[in-house]
Amino acid sequence: MRIDERRYAETARDYALRVLKANIISMDLEPGAMVSENELSAQMNLSRTPVREALMDLAKCRVVDVLPQRGSRIALIDYALVEEARFARQVLEVAILDQVCERATPADIAQLRQNVRLQLMTQEPGMDSLQSMMELDDAFHLMLFRIAQKENTYSMLCSMTIHFDRVRSLALGVVKDSKIIADHQAICECIAVHDAQRAKEIMTEHLGRVKVDEEAVRRACPQYIKEQAKG
C-alpha cells in the first residue's frame, strides 16, 4: 500500500480516508481484498479509531463492505455504480464548459496546455506511470472546475466518483488508449477559441469511454467485477 505523508492540520480520520481512497482508486488495494484495521493502523502510524471511521465512511460510499465478525473488504467493481458516477460527472462537467470557455484567461489556457504536455510525456518510453497519468488527468478536470468557479461542486462529486475513478485507473493499464490525452488536448483548444459547443461534444465522448472500455476490463480482470443480478 502506498502511504503518503500526512498534511499539515489534517485530522487522523481525514488522513486515513485520503490514503485509503487513493489506494483503492490506484488498485493497490484490490477489489475483493480483506483489510485489517490493525494492519492499516500500523502502516499509517495511527490508532485504530480513525482507520475504523475512514472505513465506515468508505462503506457509506459502497466501496468497502463491512462484514459482521469478519472485518472489512474492498468492494468489487459494480458497473451500475460506475455508470451512475459517470452520469453525474457528465452532467456537471458538460454544464460548466460554458463558463469555462467564457472565463478562461490566457494563463488558464497555458496551464491546461502544460498539463496536457505532461500527460504526453507519460507515454514516452521509460516514462510510463499510471499513477502520474491519473494525477494529471484529475488535475486537468479540477482546473476546469476552478476556472468555472465551481470547486465545491468538484468536491461534492468526489465521494461518488471513486467508483468511476477505479475503473479509469484499471482501464489505463488494460486498454492503454491514448485517446484520453487527445480528448484533453482537443477540449483545451476548444476552450482557447471559446467553442463551448464543441468542447461539450468532446467531453461527452471523453467521459463515455469508460463504457467502451468495459468489455476489455471485464475480460482482463473478471475477478474484480461484481456480477449483476439477473432481471
DSSP bridge partners of 66: 72
Write out the three cell numbers for 111.
496551464
Q: Mean pLDDT per segment of 10 residues, for the chain of length 231 residues?
A: 89 94 92 94 94 94 89 93 92 96 97 94 69 86 96 87 88 73 95 97 91 84 82 48
- Cα 205 to Cα 11, 13, 92, 161, 198: the distances in Å are 38, 37, 14, 17, 11
**Sequence ranges of the domains in the chain:** 12-74, 79-220
Q: Does domain 12-74 have CATH number 1.10.10.10?
A: yes
pLDDT at 197 (0 to 100): 97
Residues 54, 58, 64, 66, CA torsion sign: positive
pLDDT at 213 (0 to 100): 81
- pTM of this prediction? 0.85
Q: How far is CA 215 from the centre of its chain?
A: 19
Indicate the class that CATH gives domain 79-220.
mainly alpha
In the chain, what is the straight-line distance between the N-terminal and C-terminal CA atoms, in Å? Answer: 38
Q: What are phi and psi of 147, to 5 degrees?
A: -60, -40
